Structure 1
Amino acid sequence: MKNHTRRSFIKYSTLAGVGLMFLPSCLGQTMPSTGIQLYTLRDQMSEDPSGTLARVASIGYKEVESAGYGERQYYGLSAKEFRKLLDEHGLKAVSGHYLSGKQAPEKQGSLINGWEQAVEDAVEVGQKYMVCAYLFDFERETLDAYKETAELLNKCGEVCKSNGIQLCYHNHAFEFETLQGQVPYNILLSETDKDLLKMELDLYWTRKAGIDPVQLFIENEDRFPLWHVKDMDKTGEFAAVGTGEIDFSQIFANKDKAGLGHFFVEQDKIIGDPFENIKTSYGNLQKIIA
């Protein structure tokens, strides 16, 4: 990405025209299976992994992205046990979220502690992507901190690549907030090898920051193989997919420009029955991508 300021790539007045420019590129292309980020059901997965995955599969989801790995366990299960459980329910965990580990360096299973073993477990589970999920406040106070993260991501990306896995970075809104005159997200893009690190674009947080996802696709072609598909209501809060304000049809029309390989429904906070919520998201999304 060019070293733009934040203002330079959030001009929504051009969004519709840009989207139409790339609309033909998605015609006739196979749409990935609909997945779900299990952070959406973190409480349920903690209490009853098997029952939760059974209900996820019954709705129609085919893929999941794990959230919560440490000490060589996923939801209290070894990698082998987790893979067996997924297979029993006809699900594939194509991706998983992991942390840098700087917030708890003594714990194994992070980018800085036991990464080789984490990659080994990801291979056992069947993951094709490993994602750095979040940066804590102290990891994003300065541009130098972001540059250190970029260096770490390059290093960990090499380990992933040697094991047939692609490392990605998942954004929130803070990466797009100008810091010391620059946009941190630009640093994560420019200071990393595009083959060692790709991006998981969270569509909610990207729009929350006032950023046009399609413009990112144009400026960084094939850098966004993973998406989090989550909606935003009129107040800016989380909503079931298809019930909010985000124009997913226009974004999906540019999936080939992004290099989309997999996408996951996610909702950070849910009021009411979470399974009914993810069922609504699934049904609405099938209409959007049809």
Structure 2
Amino acid sequence: MNRRNFIHSAGMLAALAASPAIAFDAVVGHKKPALGIQLYMVKEDMERDPAGTLKQLGAMGYKQIESYGSDKGIFWGYSNKDFRKLAGAFGLQLISSHYNPCSLQEFDKLAGQAAEIGMKYLVCPWLGPQKSIDAFKNFAQDFNERGAICKKHGLQFGYHPHDYPYKPVDGQLPIDVLLKNTDKALVHYQMDVYYAVTEGADPYAYMQKNKGRFTMAHMRDVLKKRLPQGSKEESACDLGQGIINFPKFIAAGLDTGMHYFFVEQSRFYKETPLQSAQKNAAYLKSMRLA
């Protein structure tokens, strides 16, 4: 089932778009998570003016950031301590970062730098589609090794599945193979709920079955309406504009061991990335937890 047909499936619409009336104010026993954002969402702004961009994100109410392997590195041309100081000046804590492909030796050095400033995670953002399921089994072993490196430094290792881990390879789903073949104590997962939904997976089932493993999330919504046939656009939209019930998703995440929630919009309609960041922050701040 392709993603555009899937998002119109009546069954999953019912599961994911359950009445917003249950929102956070009706969910008992949860502490509202801090607002987080992945800096890749505002990458052009970060490339032009890291300090000015961070200042704007802090003013919007974001409290946590996730970096990525930019051309200037995960610390944007600053030392690790100077970047922490810069972000902290605007009320932002660097929780985690995606990293670029690197050797285990290079990764060990990066993990040491991340641990030195109190980061929580280093995350593999991409593996790419593979021709055989054995390739994913090999990736799992690499993840275990990097997880052990992170543990040595007092960090945690994570993997961010895109769409391809939910597509069958040799009759198996790569996401299932990775979960089975990675050490629970060493490898965590960052659910991108957009990809899970558009690929036909049930994010709630994955979180429930693998409690304590999906400890982070990326959040963007899925459009309600079918895209024109042949469209190259993805079906992403700002939170609250599509079919995903984010109060339900975040509450379920908190119940199953998820700690960090990062906004990451990828398509912008008549708005800039920073304007989208503002809209998403406002949406999340409007939610209430009992």
Structure-1-length-normalised TM-score: 0.84
What does residue 113 of structure 2 align with? 121
What does residue 177 of structure 1 align with? 167
Q: Deviations over 1:96-149 (max 9, x none)?
A: 1113x2xxxxxxxx3545011110111234310111111134xx2221111111
What does residue 219 of structure 2 align with? 229
Q: Distance in 1 between matches of 2:15 and 2:237?
A: 23
Structure 2 SS opposite 1:51: helix
Correspondences of 1:263-278 after superposition (within 5 Å): 263-271=261-269, 272-278=271-277
Correspondences of 1:22-171 after superposition (within 5 Å): 27-68=28-69, 74-99=75-100, 101=101, 110=102, 112-137=104-129, 140-171=130-161
Check whether the contact 1:160–1:166 (CA below 8 A) recurs between aligned residues.
Answer: yes
Q: Which runs of 5+ in 2 are unaligned?
A: 1-10, 228-233
Check whether the contact 1:146–1:188 (CA below 8 A) recurs between aligned residues.
Answer: yes
Check whether the contact 2:58–2:90 (CA below 8 A) recurs between aligned residues.
Answer: yes
Cα pair distance change 1:157/1:48, threshold 3 Å: same
Cα pair distance change 1:162/1:71, threshold 3 Å: farther
Q: Distance in 1 between matches of 2:61 and 2:260?
A: 15
Cα pair distance change 1:288/1:71, threshold 3 Å: closer
Cα pair distance change 1:122/1:69, threshold 3 Å: farther
Q: Distance in 2 between matches of 1:259 and 1:14?
A: 24
1:191 aligns with 2:181: yes
Q: Distance in 2 between matches of 1:194 and 1:75?
A: 31
Runs ≥4 residues deviating over 6 A: none
Q: Which has the higher contact order (CA 8 A, sep 6+)?
A: 2
Check whether the contact 1:40–1:269 (CA below 8 A) recurs between aligned residues.
Answer: no
What does residue 4 of structure 1 align with? none
Q: Distance in 2 between matches of 1:168 and 1:122?
A: 14
Cα pair distance change 1:62/1:13, threshold 3 Å: closer
Check whether the contact 1:128–1:165 (CA below 8 A) recurs between aligned residues.
Answer: yes
State the 1:73 CA deviation. Answer: 5.3
Q: Deviations over 1:185-211 (max 9, x none)?
A: 001100000110011000111111111
Q: Give the aligned residue type for 1:147.
A: K
Q: Give the aligned residue type for 1:267.
A: Q
Q: Distance in 2 between matches of 1:47 and 1:69?
A: 12
State the 1:92 CA deviation. Answer: 0.2
Cα pair distance change 1:268/1:111, threshold 3 Å: farther
Structure-2-length-normalised TM-score: 0.84
Kindly, what percent of the aligned residue pairs are identical?
Answer: 32
Q: Deviations over 1:174-231 (max 9, x none)?
A: 1010100111000110000011001100011111111111111121111111011111
Structure 2 SS opposite 1:171: coil
Structure 1 SS opposite 2:240: coil
Cα pair distance change 1:266/1:278, threshold 3 Å: same
Q: Which runs of 5+ in 1 are unaligned?
A: 1-10, 102-109
Q: Deviations over 1:40-79 (max 9, x none)?
A: 0111111110000000000000010001257865222221
Q: Distance in 2 between matches of 1:166 and 1:73?
A: 16
Check whether the contact 2:13–2:243 (CA below 8 A) recurs between aligned residues.
Answer: no
